[in-house]
A and B are shown apart, each in its own frame.
Chain A
Amino acid sequence: MILRNFLLAIPAAYLCLLLFTGGTTHTGPRRPPTRTASLQLHFTHVVNGRPMALGTTAYMNAAGESFTITMFKYYISNFTLTTTTGQEITLPAAYFLVNESSDSTKRITLPQAPEGTYQRISFMIGVDSIHNMSGAQTGALDPVNGMFWTWNSGYIMAKLEGNSPVSKQPLNLVEFHIGGFKGASNVLRRVQLNFPQPVKLSAATPATVQLTADAYTWFHLPNAISFKKVASCTTPGTQAAAVADNYRNMFSISN
């Protein structure tokens, strides 16, 4: 008899659970109204305000050291949009690898969001921890993109390579492969940017936001880096986390 009561309780519990999940998904961010639209993001890369040109142009870091950039790429993911009334919408999962050497990667289309007027966007620089542990991925997360460590599983969230005459590395290399998703070595950083004026999202008229990423920030504040002392960081750890604390400030909105 006790067993039978228990068996009867199971469907009741499921019904409660169903009602509960049904209730929340109806008003929550995962079940948008019927009309949706997607926001486009266009990225421009600069170094201390000057256009980024791979390999050819010499820039100065905050320590006054000359350097060039030969590679500049980073993951962004886990987008949210906030309406002018303060409602935060979490967009469906999407991962983008933005790469200076590939124009198509600098123009991305975010997943569908409800039509409306938005005041703010936020996203993560990097790939959330769960996708660092979930085995073989595809698309932007495919390890063929050279952004996954073979010896210590996990994504390189952002990569900057170049040269500086003051670097003591072979060939005066500058190599910053920033990754790590555990504990104090976690380099995942969230960026939140207010739109200069509200962005109206509607299926009829597509909206585009211009973002600028400034590589100068990587070695500036709050953790100034001199290439004479540190020209390479290719493992998770405190140095990588310090660079992530810098590059979280690299984005601005230019329209």
Chain B
Amino acid sequence: MRVLSIITLFALGLLFAVLEASGTREHITLSPGGPEPYVLKLPPGLPSPVYDFSKNPLTKQGVALGRHLFYDPKLSRDSTISCGFCHQQFAAFGHYDHALAHGVEGRIGVRSVPTLFNLIWQKEFMWDGGVNNLEIQPLTPLTDPNEMGEDLGKLVKRLQKDPGYRKMFKEAYGTEEITSQRLFRALTQFIATMVSFESKYDSVMRKAPGVAFTPEEQEGYVIFQQKCAACHREPFFTDNSYRNNGLPYLPALNDVGRMRITSNTGDYLKFKVPSLRNVLKSSPYMHDGRFFDIYQVFNHYNKGVEQSNTIDPLVKNGIPLTDKDQRELYMFLNTLTDPGFIANSSLSEILIR
């Protein structure tokens, strides 16, 4: 038995050596004396993250670099807009009270700022799913003329000239080299630490001692399960699909949604189903931020749905919600707020010199 185990180990070792030699794996191992591993604590019972950490293992120095980049307005063309300018922690990294994204020179974009958490479980990003990997996601806001408006090549050159960044990249990656890949991977490391699974709802589900839904929250949970959970599926409170939820079309924005990405008319007016976690902290709502109050959202599903060819069958006939239903639903959604996440000091804004 012991001999066989040794053979197994030997065989496994050889197998990996063959895989390495054939170039099918790009696995980075941390060496002693270099950056220290960062252990991301994830709650039990969740599926494995979609994001492949093997090429970008989390390190304390990598996460710290990502946080510095996230809050540094010098990443934008005119040094006014950081990632954190629009992605505010107290709003679960959405943009509180702003319907549409803001950018350099006072420019305004065409969509609302999405919240940032649990992104390592997402396959696609943006309201239309146009971005296919978490690492490459920052490219869009960094370069969009209505957001940070900077040329990627110029940004990388600016960082290369900055002694502070050269030092931080060395601490994170072992050498001073600054490339767009290292920039993206560091931002990804910080964003990977934005994990929100510590709401009252989570405590109730885990049967934490002394925690229970109030009667109204419980009633709201029942309504949620009957009327919302098909799209806002637990435990992420989204099924990551794209749907037309019957929002009246706004000619001024002319946003066709996912059709722009797929060129498929069947995707006309479809947008990603957003997570409902921290929803009461992250108004306004919808891809264009048209609803500032969650009761406007309830009202939309209750009697505001506009018919069109691609309307989702689940909302086609509206979702009847009485005043009592709406109040109870509000109470339930309130249990999805994760106060520890919103106040997590390791995610908070830092002073950039």
Contacts and interface: CB of A to CB of B under 8 A. Distances in A.
A150 B134 contact: no
A18 B130 contact: no
B18 A153 contact: no
Contact of B18 (A21, A133, A185, A236): A21
B21 A143 contact: no
B173 to A, nearest CB: 12
B130 A153 contact: yes
B229 interface: no
A15 B4 CA distance: 10
Contacts of B134: 135
A21 B24 CA distance: 13
A143 B133 contact: no
Interface in B8-40: 8, 11-12, 14-15, 18, 21-23
A3 interface: no
B4 A25 contact: no
A22 B18 contact: yes
Contacts of B14: 18, 22
B348 to A, nearest CB: 26
Contacts of A148: 136, 139
A17 B19 CA distance: 12
Contact of A235 (B4, B143, B156, B263): B263
A114 to B, nearest CB: 16
Nearest to A152: B130
B10 to A, nearest CB: 9
Nearest to A134: B133
Nearest to B143: A150
Contacts of A151: 126, 130, 140, 260
**Which applies to chain A's interface (DSSP): helix, strand, loop or mixed?**
loop
B22 A30 contact: yes
A194 interface: no
B185 interface: yes
Contacts of B56: 135
Interface string B111-136: 00000000000000010001111111
B139 A143 contact: yes
A237 interface: yes
Contact of B136 (A18, A136, A236): A136
Interface stretch (B176-184, B313-321, B334-342): B176-184
B133 A15 contact: no
A135 B52 CA distance: 9
A148 B137 CA distance: 12
Contact of A138 (B1, B180, B263): B180
A137 interface: yes
B152 A144 contact: yes
A109 to B, nearest CB: 18
B57 to A, nearest CB: 14
B130 A136 contact: no
A179 to B, nearest CB: 13
Contact of A11 (B8, B21, B55, B144): B8
Chain A interface: which size bin? Answer: 35 or more
Most chain B CB atoms below 10 A, which of A133, A135, A148, A154: A135
B5 A11 contact: yes
A171 interface: no
B287 to A, nearest CB: 15
Given A22-B18, A30-B21, A138-B180, A15 B136 contact: no
Interface in A11-26: 11, 14-15, 17-18, 21-22, 25
Contacts of B135: 135-136
A61 to B, nearest CB: 26
A25 B263 contact: no
A150 B18 contact: no
A93 B126 CA distance: 31
B230 interface: no
Contact of B12 (A14, A143, A152, A235): A14
A25 B22 CA distance: 9
Interface in B137-162: 139-140, 143-144, 152-153, 156
Contacts of A136: 133, 135-136, 180-181, 184-185, 188
Interface in A38-69: none
Nearest to A92: B23
A161 B263 CA distance: 23
Contacts of A144: 152-153, 156, 180
B55 A17 contact: no
A244 B132 CA distance: 23
Nearest to B13: A18
A30 B19 CA distance: 11
B261 interface: yes
Contacts of B15: 14, 17-18, 21
Interface string A120-156: 0000000000001111111000111010101111100
A14 B8 contact: yes
B142 to A, nearest CB: 8
17 contacts: A11-B5, A15-B7, A17-B15, A18-B18, A22-B14, A132-B132, A133-B132, A135-B56, A135-B134, A135-B136, A135-B188, A136-B180, A136-B188, A138-B181, A144-B156, A153-B131, A185-B263
What 9 A-B pairs have minimum CB-CB distances, sorted nearest first?
Answer: A135-B135, A11-B8, A136-B184, A135-B133, A153-B132, A144-B153, A14-B11, A136-B181, A138-B181
